[in-house]
Structure 1
Amino acid sequence: MSLGPTTIVGDRFDYSAAIADSWKQQTLLNIVKLRYVDLPVFVDVASVVSGYSLQTGVTLNGTVSTDRAVQGNFLGTVVQGVYTDRPTITYTPTTGQSFVHGLMEPIDPKNIFFMLQSGYAADLLLGMAVESLNGVRNRSTAAGLMREADPAFVQAITLMREVQAAGAFTMRVEEDKAKGPTAVILLRRDGIPADIVDKLAEIRRLLKMPATAQKFTLIYSPVRGANDELTVNSRSMLQIMAAFSSYMDVPDEHLRDHSALPAIAQPNGEIPDPMLHIYSGQKKPADAYVSVRYRGYWFWIDQGDLRTKRALNAVMLFFTLANTGSKEPLPLITIPAQ
């Protein structure tokens, strides 16, 4: 019997579950830290090497005596087994150019809209990943200050979700000899219900897009571009996580001592209902999707809050899209778990 195959089922799923849980916790912790103006730190699991050994042995000994011997006959058996599990886990701190590119470089607008094509809700994804569309501004946490979104932006991305569900817009990548691969958004008219056509017209009005054009080139820009362009001021990972942290419940104690950024308030002083929600409390939650402890408090996402869970998963996926830095030799920390 071979030992190796019997370990695959348990190890593969146990390690994948442990890595996934730690990734969620690390992401949430860094989001929380940004609300406290603290530096996010990322440590990746570079490799897991698990070694097993099983040694078994049986020893049989005995003595056969003569008829005159006092001790008589003797038979002894010794069974021995030694099982060793010695995993070695290697961690890679994210530093240098990889850290700078991954955190501070804006995500390619093309990748954001590819995620829309794959089924992510437009209002959730665009609300997290873009600072503005055609110059119409989203909710922002720039320069340590929090500003609510332009009403036109909120209305536009809400309508885009309904248009998205109806299949009224699509995207393709076209090759341009001068510019290289270019993403193009196509707005459909044929075979679309009248109410969806009206919503498309309203989106055009809100985002200041031409009323008749059906093809728009995606361009990264903070301001409105040409009539055949849809300018997207996409966020970096640092901006996305900072925006996510603005939906966090900060303990009153930390607001009083000014150790965390305050919540966004409307001109009338009211705080709007959060689109996402990170809870906080002194007791560890019993059944949270993910929870972390920071500065004496627990912060968590509720297991039943599907919208915030999807948002956290999107942030984790954004990290793979934002990983544009060159692969350079990095310091390794190897801890034998014995």
Structure 2
Amino acid sequence: MNRMKHVLFIAAVASVAVAIGGCNAVGPAALGNGRAAYNNIVNQTEDEQILAAIVRLRYDQTFGLLAVTSITANISMRSSVDVEAEIGPGSSFEGSTIGAGVLYEENPTISYVPVRGEQFVERMLAPLSAEQTLLLSRMSTQDFEPLHLLVRRVNGLANPLFAPGDSNEGFNHFVELFRQLRQQGVLDLVGSQSGAQEVFIHDFNQRQAGDVVELLATLGINRSVQPGSDLRIALHFFVGAATRDAMEIETPTALETLRAASRGVAVPAEHVAVGIVRADTMAEHERSPLVVHASRERPLQASIATRYRDYWYFIDEGDVTSKQTFLLLRTLVGLRLDAGAKGQLAPILTVPVGR
């Protein structure tokens, strides 16, 4: 019997050691799994609230934003050991059991702050700065040119997204030429030695020279274009009448950019019929690069989706241009959220997620 007690004691100690070792392993595993899960859900909900804001603007409705300020996850672990044994004559240990376990518990607390106040309003209604415009313009790809949403007017050419019915296709032609030359590596936006911004056109061949001439003609700039020579054109950000010796850009506000993008939201015919939203009357050259579909049923192939007025509004997973457009909008709003929330006196909503 003493021998059996000794064996059970050793086994119990070993079980405790295993349980403690399990606790030590749970910590890193919890960090590895929890961090990715929290990051994914924060990113997903940020996408959803930006898409919801765009959809609400299509319906001429106000929208609100909540910024996640902190996530605190309290992790607790407890170990337990259970021993059951039969004590009696004989050397058999049948019926004796030893069990060890680890109880893992996680209680996250999430804090939100409403994005509002004078500073936020100013940032949403102030035109994009030169620095922000140049920074975001670097998100250009072969499928999407950010200038469609970052420029209201250039050298007198009105962007049809911001001035529907009061523009022609000249602006879109400028954007396409600009995108082609930049993608080919012969056009860059650079800083001069004096600190001013310039359009630098360089290393272009005879074929590309034709596109350069066409670009300058579209902008009303008269310059001699010779393959092998460089062109430096001053880049000005202005509001007012344009001169013809530089590339002069008028930028929109962040709110105007979101509203322009919202023109790509498809709306149900029944909503148009009852007058809660205006019908789509845009010409082809006035269309937003962002396309948002509407469906009664939850979409299966959606990159991002949000529900509004009994419909699902979503970006198709296979629509590369719309996804890249949304990435630009998300980045732009992110800049505004970060800037607008600093020092802002607003109530913080803290939500503990308990058992």
Pairwise same-fold verdict (TM > 0.5): yes
Alignment of 1:287-298 (within 5 A): 287-298=301-312
Q: Distance in 2 between matches of 1:330 and 1:92?
A: 7
Alignment of 1:1-338 (within 5 A): 1=21, 2=24, 3-60=26-83, 81-117=102-138, 119-120=140-141, 124-141=145-162, 146-147=164-165, 149-174=167-192, 176=194, 181-188=195-202, 191-212=203-224, 214-266=231-283, 275-322=289-336, 324-325=339-340, 327-328=342-343, 329-338=345-354
CA contact (8 A) 2:159 2:171 kept: yes
Per-residue CA deviations over 1:287-330 (Å, capped at 9, x if unaligned) read 21111110111111100000000000010111244454472133
CA contact (8 A) 1:132 1:232 kept: yes
**Matched residue count:** 319
CA contact (8 A) 1:35 1:242 kept: yes
Moved more, 153-162 or 305-314: 153-162
- Displacement, 1:224? 4.5
- Cα 1:256–1:31 shift into 2, 3 Å: same
- Displacement, 1:148? 6.4
Q: Distance in 2 between matches of 1:95 and 1:273?
A: 30
CA contact (8 A) 1:264 1:271 kept: no
CA contact (8 A) 1:56 1:82 kept: yes
**Residue in 1 that maps onto 2:14:** none
Give the secondary structure class of the aligned counterpart of 1:124: coil
Moved more, 74-83 or 216-225: 74-83
- Displacement, 1:175? 6.3
Q: Distance in 2 between matches of 1:326 and 1:334?
A: 16
Moved more, 150-159 or 117-126: 117-126
- Cα 1:233–1:120 shift into 2, 3 Å: farther
Partner letter of residue 40 of structure 2?
Answer: A
- Cα 1:118–1:258 shift into 2, 3 Å: closer
Give the secondary structure class of the aligned counterpart of 1:246: helix
Query: What's the % identity of the aligned pairs?
Result: 21
- Cα 1:194–1:314 shift into 2, 3 Å: same
Unaligned runs of 5+ in 2: 1-20, 90-94, 226-230
CA contact (8 A) 1:33 1:39 kept: yes
- Cα 1:278–1:61 shift into 2, 3 Å: closer
What is the Cα-based RMSD across aligned positions, in Å?
2.8
- Displacement, 1:333? 0.5
Per-residue CA deviations over 1:66-92 (Å, capped at 9, x if unaligned) read 9xxxxxxx9786756432110111111
Q: Which has the higher strand share?
A: 1
Q: Which has the higher helix share?
A: 2
- Cα 1:316–1:91 shift into 2, 3 Å: same
- Cα 1:141–1:134 shift into 2, 3 Å: closer
Partner letter of residue 101 of structure 1?
Answer: E
- Cα 1:149–1:283 shift into 2, 3 Å: farther
Partner letter of residue 294 of structure 2?
Answer: S
Unaligned runs of 5+ in 1: 67-73
Give the secondary structure class of the aligned counterpart of 2:264: coil
- Report the TM-score, using the length of structure 1 for normalisation: 0.84
- Cα 1:106–1:132 shift into 2, 3 Å: same
Q: If you compute each CA radius of gyration, which structure gives the higher value, 1 or 2?
A: 2
- Displacement, 1:337? 1.2
- Displacement, 1:14? 1.2
Per-residue CA deviations over 1:214-259 (Å, capped at 9, x if unaligned) read 3233322244434443221111111111111111111111112221
Q: Distance in 2 between matches of 1:310 and 1:16?
A: 20
- Displacement, 1:8? 2.0
CA contact (8 A) 2:72 2:108 kept: yes
CA contact (8 A) 2:261 2:288 kept: no
